[in-house]
């Protein structure tokens, strides 16, 4: 993707960091320390890549004050190099011209209220009483069912499905294949046969929410499923019915959250983590990848809940020991009781 050519001094002012080097140096792109070329800007935020710093061909590097002493190129010195890089890259990206109107192949219900500055893409379907605010982009092949609302400047990239009565806040970004507001997994058992429980709630997304490709957020069974402002979900995540996710919580790929679990604000959840239903997770709780969360964690902190990979024979031995733990615990308690009884007997 072509980027805007910008002077390094202008970039430093825009992102508010210290410049060391020629302010008139022209920057026309970004690259990694290892593979950047002249004219590009790179960044160092992970010590594992420090070895490339002395050899990089980048014209400038974004880094911390500690690493700046080891960099011979022009540099932007930041307390948070990765965040500064994100802002620099965003500034260099060319502005996307927002289209307005409806593609001729789109099907739009007569009762839908589409703002004149919004765009409805090819082969998209907009249902009855849908309200689409200013600057919204609805990409090709998307389906917006009856009574949905989409807030200002939100973007449905392509093939996004919003089921009935879904609410999307402002400036949300929904990637291809996202499904918001499908029925949750609600079933009642009748002598071995499953009977569907009507899913009567909605799915509600706050402002500045981003949902990754092929992620699903189910509607509530009775109350609403709610993702608060600033929530960020990666690809291939399942959010069950009645789940609540607090503001600015971020979740990596392939997580699964069972129904009615409440997650606090400013949490991070590593990829492949599974959360059982009806749990309460407090604010500022952080789970490492592949954790299995089967109880509530109300207090802030960093938690892990699985064994790392190991050589197969060692794994088999570890599992065998784990299976023996209950019996070992019982024998240990019996031994403790025996010792305690002997002490009492000796005293008497």
| Segments making up each domain of the chain, as ranges | 6-92, 101-303, 312-348
305: pLDDT confidence band, cut at 50, 70 and 90? confident
205: pLDDT confidence band, cut at 50, 70 and 90? very high
Please name the residues in contact with 131: beta carbons below 8 A apart, sequence gap of 6 or more: 112, 113, 148, 149, 150
* 52-85 tens-digit pLDDT: 999 999 999 999 999 998 899 999 999 999 999 9
pLDDT at residue 309, as a whole number: 84
Query: What CA–CA distances, in Å, run from 220 to 163, 178, 182, 196?
Result: 12, 17, 9, 14
Burial annotation 194-224 (CB, 10 A radius, 16+ → b, else e): eeeeebebbbbbbbbbbbbbbbbbbbbbeeb
pLDDT at residue 1, as a whole number: 56
- As a whole number of angstroms, the distance between CA 6 and CA 269 comes to 36
Q: Which of 175, 241, 278, 286 is catalytic?
A: 241
pLDDT, mean of residues 97-108: 94
pLDDT at residue 94, as a whole number: 84
**Can you give the three-state secondary structure of 56-92, one letter per residue?**
CCCCEEEECHHHHCCCCCEEEECCCHHHHHHHHHHHH
* 249-301 tens-digit pLDDT: 999 999 999 999 999 999 999 999 999 999 999 999 999 999 999 999 999 99
Nearest 10 degrees: Cα torsion 314, 316, 322, 325: -90
Output the pTM of the full model. 0.90
Is the pLDDT at 36 greater than 90? The verdict is yes
- The fold of the 101-303 domain, in CATH, is UDP N-Acetylglucosamine Acyltransferase; domain 1 (2.160.10)
pLDDT, mean of residues 23-45: 96
- As a whole number of angstroms, the distance between CA 21 and CA 8 comes to 9
pLDDT, mean of residues 105-109: 98
Which strands, in side-by-side order, build the sheet including 40-43?
18-20, 74-77, 60-63, 40-43, 29-30
Query: What CA–CA distances, in Å, run from 219 to 23, 36, 185, 186?
Result: 52, 45, 10, 11
Q: What is the CATH number of domain 6-92?
A: 3.40.1390.10
Residue 241 is a catalytic residue: yes
- As a whole number of angstroms, the distance between CA 107 and CA 127 comes to 8
Contact 163, 145 (CB under 8 A): yes
């Amino acid at each position: 993707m072509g980027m805007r050519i910008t002077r390094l001094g202008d970039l430093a002012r825009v992102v508010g960091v210290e410049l060391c080097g020629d302010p008139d140096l022209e920057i026309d792109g970004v690259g990694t320390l290892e593979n950047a070329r002249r004219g590009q800007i790179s960044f160092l935020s992970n010590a594992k890549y420090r070895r490339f710093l002395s050899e990089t061909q980048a014209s400038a590097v974004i880094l911390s004050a500690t690493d700046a002493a080891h960099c011979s190129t022009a540099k932007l010195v930041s307390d948070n190099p990765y965040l500064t890089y994100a802002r620099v890259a965003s500034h260099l990206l060319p502005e996307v011209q927002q289209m307005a109107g409806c593609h001729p192949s789109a099907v739009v219900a007569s009762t839908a209220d589409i703002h004149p500055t919004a765009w409805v893409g090819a082969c998209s379907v907009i249902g009855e009483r849908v309200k689409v605010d200013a600057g919204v982009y609805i990409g090709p092949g998307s389906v917006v069912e009856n009574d949905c609302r989409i807030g200002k400047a939100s973007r449905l990239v392509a093939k996004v499905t919003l089921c009935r009565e879904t609410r999307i806040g402002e400036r949300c970004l929904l990637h291809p294949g996202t499904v918001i507001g499908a029925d949750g997994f609600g079933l009642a058992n009748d002598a071995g046969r499953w009977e569907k429980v009507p899913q009567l709630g909605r799915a509600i997304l706050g402002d500045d929410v981003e949902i990754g490709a092929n992620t699903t957020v189910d509607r509530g069974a009775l109350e609403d499923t709610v993702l608060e402002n600033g929530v960020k979900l990666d690809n291939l995540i399942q959010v069950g019915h009645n789940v609540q996710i607090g503001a600015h919580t971020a979740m990596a790929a392939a997580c699964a959250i069972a129904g009615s679990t409440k997650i606090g604000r400013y949490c991070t959840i590593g990829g492949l983590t599974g959360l059982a239903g009806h749990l309460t997770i407090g604010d500022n709780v952080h789970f490492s990848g592949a954790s299995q969360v089967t109880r509530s964690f109300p207090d802030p902190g960093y938690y892990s809940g699985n064994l790392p990979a190991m050589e197969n024979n060692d794994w088999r031995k570890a599992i065998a020991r784990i299976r023996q733990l209950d019996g070992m615990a019982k024998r240990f308690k019996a031994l403790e009781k025996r010792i305690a009884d002997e002490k009492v007997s000796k005293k008497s």
